[in-house]
Amino acid sequence: MEVKKLLDDSSQYIMDTYKRFPVVFIKGRGMKLWSADGKEYLDFMAGIAVNILGHCHPRHVVAIQKQAQKLVHISNLYHNEYQIKLAKLLCDYSFADKIFFSNSGAEANEAAIKLARKHSKERFGAEKTGIITALNSFHGRTIATLTATGQPKLQSGFDPLTPGFSHVPFNDYEALKSAIDENTCAIMLEPIQGEGGVKMPSTDYFKHVRDLCTRLGILLIFDEIQTGTGRTGTLFAYEQYGIEPDILTLAKGLGGGFPIGATLARDEVAKTFTQGSHGSTFGGNPLACAVALATIETLLEDGIMLSECRRMGEYFMESLIKLQKQFPKVITDVRGRGLLIGMELTRECAMVAQACFERGILINCTAGNTLRFMPPLIVTEEDIDRLISVLKDILERLS
């Protein structure tokens, strides 16, 4: 395969919205990917926290093959078996009573925003539409979710943005409380800020936020696009904070690599969406739901994968903390939960990600100076040890 020709054609025909590594992947299996020029890579990105079962997991592949031979799309004017089964499974294992299916995280968050505003308008009046989110958050790239995203650099050039959003520092309860006014209808937060640098909340932050929302009649929306479906060691991250949101959004790992999004809600809130008030042509189609159902069933089977996620997460964190002790002038912090882990450096981290890529390991640099690790949940100690060895060699050269 002519790799240079492919890269040249990519440059010519595809909009230049991504800073891509110069590689064309053609095959994957488990933790590994292979490029068109035959090089093997160890994948600690999982398609940005998507491929929770790894690449080409047998049950994932079979689910796609079997359903593609039977029925791919019918629209939501008709019922489909797997949409119903997936909705029931997610409700059985969460706080939610009802679900709306879409195709991506941004669409799931759009639905959550619309649902929160419509519910609050009907309950309290037309003016109650304000939504508070966190600085350095990430909620999507549509105009509304981009406005919700607390990163001005991503919003630049897309004015006018959607009115009614405000941003406060993450994990600052007093700032959040002070930002609430009579028009606030919802607070939308990530349990852990992924794109923002794997920023963690304090132990009781979300309990205070939940109590505040309950007391004031404000909806609490959890954006679990990145933290949901097992990434932090439980099916949903909110379980680890001892609270429940009113609305929750999922995507990424839900389909294990196949595009699907979901907005989960309590019945009192969900009933605000009436026939014709929201929709999606492709959302919850038979193929996407069959694949997502197989993915989540595999994840939940005997709880093995979730317990392994917690165990591997602890091993990974311990390994990175040991590395931090060896390079205290380069590594300032190691933080995370389950298999969503960040390692903050004293310098720009893009060069480290590039050096790992050249050594056949895929990692991510986010928030400028934080290396983000989000491997498939099938990662092993051997995989982690290999990454640590490569990182140690790179950091020794940087030091």
Q: Decide if 252 is catalytic.
A: yes
Dihedral-angle region of residue 257 (phi above 0 means left; psi in -120 to 50 means alpha; beta otherwise): left
Q: Helix, strand, coil shares of the chain as percentages rounded to 5?
A: 40, 20, 40
For 335, phi then psi, to 5°, come to -150, 160
How many CA within 13 A on the CB side of residue 60? 22
**Catalytic residue of the set 138, 236, 316, 373:** 138
- Tokens representing 337? 């939960």
DSSP structural state of residue 188: E
Q: Are 330 and 397 in contact (CB under 8 A)?
A: no
**397 exposure class (CB count in 10 Å sphere: 0-12, 13-18, 19+):** exposed
| Catalytic pick among 223, 246, 316, 373 | 223
Name the burial class of residue 239, with classes exposed (0-12), middle (13-18) and buried (19+) by CB atoms within 10 angstroms of its CB.
Answer: middle
Q: How far is CA 64 from CA 59, 69, 221, in A?
A: 9, 9, 31
Neighbouring-strand partners of residue 359: none
Q: Among residues 118, 128, 199, 252, which one is catalytic?
A: 252
Contact status, residue 343 vs residue 334, Cβ threshold 8 Å: yes
Q: Token pair for residue 129?
A: 């539409």
CA nearest neighbour of 55 among 77, 27, 82, 36: 27
d(CA 332, CA 320): 11
Question: Within 149-280, where are the H helices?
Answer: 152-155, 173-179, 205-216, 267-270
CA distance 48 to 198: 13
- 373 annotated active-site: no
The residues that are catalytic are 138, 223, 252
